Chains A and B, each alone.
Chain A
Amino acid sequence: EPEVTQTPSHQVTQMGQEVILRCVPISNHLYFYWYRQILGQKVEFLVSFYNNEISEKSEIFDDQFSVERPDGSNFTLKIRSTKLEDSAMYFCASREGRGHYGYTFGSGTRLTVV
């Protein structure tokens, strides 16, 4: 069964450092998402991406965050200057297209900011 692949599975970084979280969505999917889940809290939407541009973003997704699909397969989330409160599990997800809302989530990257 096709999978969404995320790397790394766990990343530890110092406060103020830049991190890039990587995702390879399912190849025929058209819509891509980043969500995060702070430990013990609910899954929160960050950003959606379609047709090589951001289609929606939440209040969490401020100027410190950016997304890219540099080469037609990878989908990255960059956090420019990490803060302690950015520590969370970050999930990438993709879906096939219009009407197909049963996302496939990746296994997540646990980001720990120290």
Chain B
Amino acid sequence: EDKVVQSPLSLVVHEGDTVTLNCSYEVTNFRSLLWYKQEKKAPTFLFMLTSSGIEKKSGRLSSILDKKELFSILNITATQTGDSAVYLCAALHRGSQGNLIFGKGTKLSVKP
């Protein structure tokens, strides 16, 4: 059975800290891994990673995929209270119509 596992499930840090969120996957015919940020309701897209070892960056957020070890990390540097959210990782099958297999998420709380 395909699965996506995220760790830790929750994390509390202080503003300015750097955090690393982990996502491992076991997915048949894996194509890509996606990261989303879920604040109150709708998940918002952060990154899609298809190739191993190529870092994607957006401001203080960055992510990388390791297709040999079957995991991805999401880094957030100099965290701010606005980074508080649930971060979701999702895997995409090759050949699918785009349906995503989500992990349970990591709840990040950034304290002032």
* A residues in contact (CB < 8 Å) with B: 4, 31, 33, 35, 41-45, 48, 50, 55-56, 58, 89, 91, 95, 101-108
A107 contacts B42, C-beta separation under 8 Å: yes
* B residues in contact (CB < 8 Å) with A: 32, 34, 36, 41-45, 48, 88, 90, 92, 96-105
Say what secondary structure dominates the interface of chain A: strand
Q: What are the residues of chain B within 8 A of A42 when measuring CB–CB?
A: 88, 102-105
A101 contacts B42, C-beta separation under 8 Å: no
* A43-B102, A108-B42 known; A101+B32 contact, CB < 8 A: yes
B92 contacts A41, C-beta separation under 8 Å: no
A89 contacts B41, C-beta separation under 8 Å: yes
B44 contacts A105, C-beta separation under 8 Å: yes
Closest 5 CB pairs of A and B: A102-B45, A55-B97, A105-B42, A43-B102, A45-B99
